[in-house]
Amino acid sequence: MEGSPKPPAKHSWLERLSAFLMREPEDREQLVELLHAAFERNLMDADALSMIEGVLQVSDLRAGDIMVPRAQIDTINVAEPIARFMPMVLETGHSRFPVYEGNRDQVIGILLAKDLLRYFVDPDSFDLRDSLRPAVFIPESKRLNVLLKEFRANRNHMAVVVDEYGGVAGLVTIEDVIEQIIGDIEDEYDFDETEDHLLQDRDGSWRVKAVTEVADFNEALGVDLPTDEFDTIGGLVVHQFGHLPKRGERVEAFGLQFEVLRADSRRLYSLQVSRARHGGPDAA
C-alpha cells in the first residue's frame, strides 16, 4: 500500500556491534571489556569473541612463545639414505621437514614430503639435496602478527627459530600462528568428532580425549592411575607436565608415555598413549 511506512531494516551483528562500540575504549583492557559486554548482549557469538581475542593476543606473542622446541623437531640428516628416514616421515605424517648437514644447527633446507614421490618414480635420479626448498630463519623475538604477514607475503609455511647464538631453538608453522586466532586446526589424525573417547591403534597405542575420565581410562588400558585428585586424564597429564603442553610434547608417567596430539593456548584436547619404553617408576 502506497504511503505505508516500511519496516525498519534488520541490522547485522557487525552493525550492532559497531554501534555498541561508538564510545572509543582508552586501552586494551577497556576494549576487551566492551567485547565481552557485546557478547553478553548477544551482539556476537562465542566463536567471534574467541577469534577477536585471539587476534589481540597474536599481536602480543612472539615466535618463542609458540614454537615447537628443538628437542621435539623431527629433522632429517641429508647424509642419511631415504630408506632410513622414510619410516619417520610416514609415522609423523608431517608435510615438511627441516634437513640438516653435520649437526642439527646447520639446517640447509626444507623437504616437502610430497617431493619424496619422485624418489619412488625414479630412485636413481632422485637427489635429496636438490629437492630441498629454502629455509626461513627468524629470531625468537619475532612478533606473530609480523610473522603471519611475512608468511602470507612470501608464501612460506614454516620458519626455523634461532637463538641469539644462531643455533636452532625451535620451529614455527603458519598453522601454529593461525591456531592462536581460531583455535586448533583439525586434520586427518584428529578424532574429536567421534563419539569414542578411547581408540586403540594397530600398533597397540591409544588415542585418548583429554575429557576421558581417569576411571574409564584405567578400565580400558588395565592400569591403575590415581583418581583422587583429578577426574579427567587431561587434568592428570597437565599436572605431570607442570604446564599447558603444546602439540608434540611428551611426558612419561605411571609406566606410560603421553604425547599431545591436539592442544592450543587454552586447553588440551587429545593424547596418544603408549607403554613407556623403559617402564621406569611413576613420575612424581
Q: What band does 189 get if pLDDT is binned at 50, 70 and 90? A: very low
What's the grid cell of residue 175? 598453522
State how beta strands 137-139 and 158-162 pair.
parallel
Do 178 and 78 belong together in one domain? yes
| Domain harbouring 245, CATH code | 3.30.465.10
The CATH number of the domain holding residue 149 is: 3.10.580.10
Q: What is the pLDDT of residue 284?
A: 37
| Helix/strand/coil for 264 | coil
210 shares its domain with 128: no
Does 218 lie in the same domain as 150?
Answer: no
| 3-class secondary-structure state, position 245 | coil
Domain match, 49 and 121 both = no
Indicate whether 81 and 27 sit together in one domain.
Answer: no
Question: What are the Cα distances from residue 126, in Å, to 81, 109, 121?
Answer: 11, 16, 9
In a domain, 202, yes or no: yes
Stretch among 12-26, 46-60, 205-219 having the lowest mean pLDDT? 12-26
From residue 156, give the alpha-carbon distance in Å to each of 8, 133, 163, 174. Answer: 48, 10, 20, 8
Question: Is 3 among the domain residues?
Answer: no
Q: Which range, 4-8, 163-167, 260-264, is most confident?
A: 163-167
The answer to the question of residue 282 being in a domain is no
1 versus 98: the higher-pLDDT residue is 98
Q: 3-class SS at 158? A: strand
Same domain, 78 and 155: yes
Mean pLDDT of the chain: 81
The answer to whether residue 42 is domain-embedded is yes
Q: Show which of 135, 151, 182 is a domain's final residue.
A: 182
CA 251 from chain center: how many Å?
17
The string of pLDDT tens digits covering residues 143-188 is 998 998 899 888 889 999 999 888 999 999 988 888 777 765 555 4
Contact yes or no for 161/140 (Cβ under 8 A): yes
201-246 tens-digit pLDDT = 777 889 999 889 999 999 999 999 998 888 899 999 999 998 888 8
pTM across the whole model = 0.56
SS3 50: helix
Mark whether 81 and 143 lie in a shared domain: yes
Instruction: For residues 61 and 53, give the distance between their C-alpha atoms in angstroms, rounded to a whole number.
Output: 12
Domain of 50, in residue numbers: 13-59
Chain center to CA of 163: 21
Q: Are residues 148 and 245 in the same domain?
A: no
Count of structural domains within the chain: 3
> Is 5 within the bounds of a domain?
no
Place of cell 577477536: 52
For the segment 49-60, the average pLDDT, to the nearest whole number, is 74
One domain for residues 208 and 177: no
